[in-house]
Each structure stands twice: as structure tokens, then as C-alpha cells.
Copies of this chain bind each other. A is one copy, B any other.
């Protein structure tokens, strides 16, 4: 493709994106396709001959967008949000066009240097302790990774390596394999699935500790587990604490966990994937109290900081410890040492994109104030939603709203809430996800879209209440008595039979 065609192509793509974004509110958030839809539309083999870019852009509208779940729609309240903004999109466009791979300083100096700078900027903006910053030859510093899963895995591996070295020092006669098999790590029963996965990948025993009534991991629980494991000959090596759990956005008690980790020489990693972005607002920093005990701290800027996936921020206090497990140098990677980090040794992959460019674009074009405004705005909208829920006696908040997340359910049997979620999903107007809280099904409703306005919250609430009215009415008119609200099995069976198994049938 010639550059003159690229200019037309690129500008047409920019127009397409602008249109798409402007129309997001009007489109169904969930697509109207059945599994396998696309294989019926596309050929079985790649084209031999070139096709025109005009045809491909048309096919984006014909085949791609109709099968897309619109994560940037203001009607998207599922999972946690994915960050998105025009400056981030253009920043990444330039990153891709320049296209260098930051293997080492010389492989693209700006790639290493801008990353150090924006990670220091962000570290200061989140009020992290100075030990996490890269300055004046300190051992601390930040790096942009691909995901919280990756950071958790890396920190687990670091903890493993460090503990093996420590124990080997105490007991030189013990074999490494013997030590490794005895390592144990801790997290709460509310932590993200990536923690479980990380432990599997790292071959570390992970204990999922019970949380308190607010779903927070407490010191007492950790201490008991550590003592018991030590008694049984196990070796505690890592705690993965969460600030803002996936289920209910709960905050583990760092003030209590931290000193225990110090005492027992346990690596403390903080997964603040979602909620960490809020620490850019001083009023939420009380929730990170105890951060000074952490060895590593992670925030997914690609969730709630207007930056596109992937952009997972990781800070460590001692980068030497952190990289000891991964450093594998070869001659073609050697370069004149510039006193700057070799970020390839801070991650799983050798290659790395120039991700700091999009961060820089967002920080400059929004400014810290712009990001603060966005976060505060989404929290205000979540409060508005919370008030709706609390004002309707048919519903209950199962926990207090936390950040942009409201967890609620229809009072009574689980099948009602399950039915609500199914009807919302089938209706495709708003997208929420199910959660589980102490054996009860809940609706997780997260406000995070940068386009969200009050009218969107009102629209979502209208959707939720009208479906709920229908669900409850269908129960009343059914042969099953209203009391069966409490006798679960019948209703579950009935509603599941009518609606879940055979999606086409409606209760009216």
C-alpha cells in the first residue's frame, strides 16, 4: 500500500471511529448474533489476491461491528470497565506506526526513557511511597506490563526465588526442589481468578483465606494461617492482597497484613487492578493505608484511567530482587549500560511495545485533573444508581457501593436475580454480569464509561425495574403460590425450564 492510499485509508478509518463512538449510545450494547455467525459469512480460506481497503472498511461495518460487544458503550456495566479515550487511541496509533521493540535501551531509547518518566509521574500522582519511584539510582521503579495476571505471576515467581535463596542460606543442605515444594502463598477468597491461575502457573500452593463481613482479608486470619503452615513445615513466601476485589470491590486491610509480612519475611504484592486508579483522587487514598509495607503494587490503567488495554502498571521497591529471576542476557542484546532499566528483564516476554506513549498522551491531554474528574464523575453516577436501588423495596444492596460498583439483587430467591440477568442479557440494551456473594447470586453493576451521563443511569434503572416487574408479575400469575418465593427449588426449576433452557419461550 502506498503512502497516499494510507492517508485516505487512515482518514476514512478516523471518520468510521468517530461515527461509531457517536452512535454507541443508540446501539444495543450486546450483539444480536449466534455462536458461529461469522464462519457462515467469511470464506474458508484467506484471499490469494489483494482486496481494496474500501471493501475491508465496509466489511468492518457489515461483519465486525454487528458481532461486537460494545465495551465503550454507556450501557456497558459488566465486568470492570476497559479504559478508552481518543488521546490513548492516537497515542497507540503512533506507537504502532513507529513500531519499535524495546528490547534494550539502544533498541529504542525513547521507549525505555519515556516509560521511566511516566511511571514516575503516575507513581507521584497516586501518592506512592518514594521507594517505588525510579530516581537517583534507587532500586525502585515502575514498569508497564500487559495485565494484572502477568504482574501477579511475576511477583509470585520473584517471591519464590527470593524465599528459596533465603531458605537455602539458612539450610544449605536442603535441595531446591524440596524447598520449592514447601512454598505457600496467601490471598483472600475474594481475589481475582488470575491469582489462582498465577499460582497454578508458578507451581506455588495458594491458600484462599476467609474474609470478614466486608469481604476484606484481615491480619488475624493471615497470622493464623502462617503460624499453622509453619508448624506443618511449609514455607510462607507471598501474600497477594487486593484493593478493590472483582466481586464486590472490597479492600483488604493492609495495615494489619503488612506488619505480618515483614515479620515473616513474606513478599507483599498489592493487586489494585481496578480501584487503584482512584488513588489519583486524594479523598480515596485512605483505602491504600499500609501501602508502605508492600513490595510490589499493581494498577490496571487500562481499566479506569482512560488508557486502552493493555497497560498494567507495576511498581516494585527493589527491582534487583524483581529481575533476578528473569534476567537472561545474550550477546545480541548487549549494549552500553546507560544506568537505565532493561525492561525486558522485568517481564515474561523479550519484546515490548512503546506503551508509555499512550500514557503520555492521556496524561497530557487530560491532565491529572481530567482523570480525577472522570473518576469522580463515574463514582457520582454509581451513587445515583445506588440510590435508585435503595429507594425500591424489591431490591437489596448486598454490600455497600464501592467505587463505581453496585452489587444488588432482587430480594428473595436467587432465581429471580438470575432471571433478571438473563432477561437483561437477552434484551441486549444494557450489559451487567452476575456475581456470587456468600452463596447468593448478585448483579454486578459497574459505572466506568467515559461517555456515561445521568440519563444513562436512569435508562439502565428503567430497564432493570421493568424486567423485575415482569418477573415478579409472572410469578404471581403462575399456579405456584407467592410463598414459593422462599421455597427455591420449584421456582428455580420452573423459571430455568421456561427461560434459561429454552430461550425462545417467554413468561408473560
Contact = CB atoms under 8 A, between A and B. Distances in A.
Nearest to A108: B69
Contact of A200 (B20, B37, B103, B328): B328
A351 B42 contact: no
Nearest to A49: B367
A153 B348 contact: yes
Nearest to A32: B109
Report, as a range, how many residues of chain A touch the other chain.
35 or more
Contacts of A100: 68-71, 82
Given A46-B122, A48-B367, A348-B149, A330 B98 contact: no
Contact of A108 (B39, B68, B109, B364): B68
A21 B97 contact: yes
B97 A365 contact: no
A50 B326 contact: no
Nearest to A67: B110
Contacts of A15: 7
A203 interface: yes
A172 interface: no
A99 interface: yes
Contacts of A109: 31, 33, 35, 37-38, 67-69
Contacts of A68: 98, 100, 108-111
Given A69-B100, A193-B350, A348-B348, A56 B364 contact: yes
A295 interface: no
How many copies of this chain does one complex carry? Answer: 2
A52 B176 CA distance: 56
B309 A35 contact: no
A298 interface: no
Contact of A14 (B14, B66, B247, B357): B14
Interface string A300-315: 0010000011100000
A498 interface: no
Give the 5 A-B residue pairs with the shortest CB-CB distance, closest first. Answer: A35-B338, A177-B181, A67-B110, A10-B14, A147-B349
27 contacts: A1-B85, A6-B18, A6-B86, A7-B14, A7-B15, A10-B11, A14-B14, A20-B98, A21-B97, A34-B338, A35-B339, A37-B113, A46-B363, A48-B368, A50-B364, A56-B360, A56-B364, A64-B98, A64-B357, A68-B100, A89-B97, A99-B308, A147-B349, A149-B348, A193-B333, A196-B328, A332-B444
